[in-house]
Amino acid sequence: MHTILNHPLVNHRVALMRDQATPPKLFRELVNEITTFLAYEALKDVRIKEVPVQTPVAKTTGRLVDEHVVLVPILRAGMGMLDAMLHVLPYAKVGVLGMQRNEETAEPIPYYAKVPPAKGEELAIVIDPMLATGGSACDAVSQLHKLGYKRVKFLNLVSAPEGLSRFEKEHPDVPVWSAALDERLNSHYYIVPGLGDAGDRIFGTL
């Protein structure tokens, strides 16, 4: 199951983010803003609890989020989405998965993993700007399942049809939210039209 945020406010920011003339500072701000929109949509079904609240006028009932969330950015580009997620979910725990792409095969090479142990019904949210071949995202979810996480979601900025198709075949139970679904992958496994290397643009290492 996948959701593409086809909204004017999101599309506006995606267009600015794609522009090669956009400097790293603005690029990071756009990533944060788009991630916030993604989080808003992806978290509509989080568990809540009702609590009594005393306003200055009367007693009422409030609804608080009652969810144990673990945010899992894929290093390094996923770190660019982390601040926005923590702004929305300040109580969340954070785990990281490090993966390097084999430039010949485009398959991920895991090199680091530090994720809080699953204890029950935690919700793990994997964040990574690009879903290109789907290799890193699929591997990340597989690692989380092996660690005992039963509830997983995946948020990204831009998806390629090839990566989305692979992800849905390997993990049909994991919902995906994207800000844009692009045309295709090129011969170098980059998303077209895409936005270039998200990690380089976030960290200014072009």
- Of the candidates 105, 173, 184, 205, the residue annotated as catalytic is 105
**Active-site annotation holds for 200:** yes
**Active-site annotation holds for 197:** yes
- Of the candidates 18, 36, 83, 200, the residue annotated as catalytic is 200
**Active-site annotation holds for 105:** yes
35 by DSSP, 3-state: which? Answer: helix
**Active-site annotation holds for 76:** no
- Of the candidates 18, 36, 83, 197, the residue annotated as catalytic is 197
Question: What count of other Cβ atoms lies within 10 Å of the Cβ of residue 48?
Answer: 12
Question: What is the sign of the dihedral through the CA atoms of 67, 72, 78 and 79?
Answer: positive
Phi, psi of 203 (to 5 degrees): -100, 0
Query: Which tokens go with 189?
Result: 């496994």
114 by DSSP, 3-state: which? Answer: strand
Q: Which residues are catalytic?
A: 101, 105, 197, 200
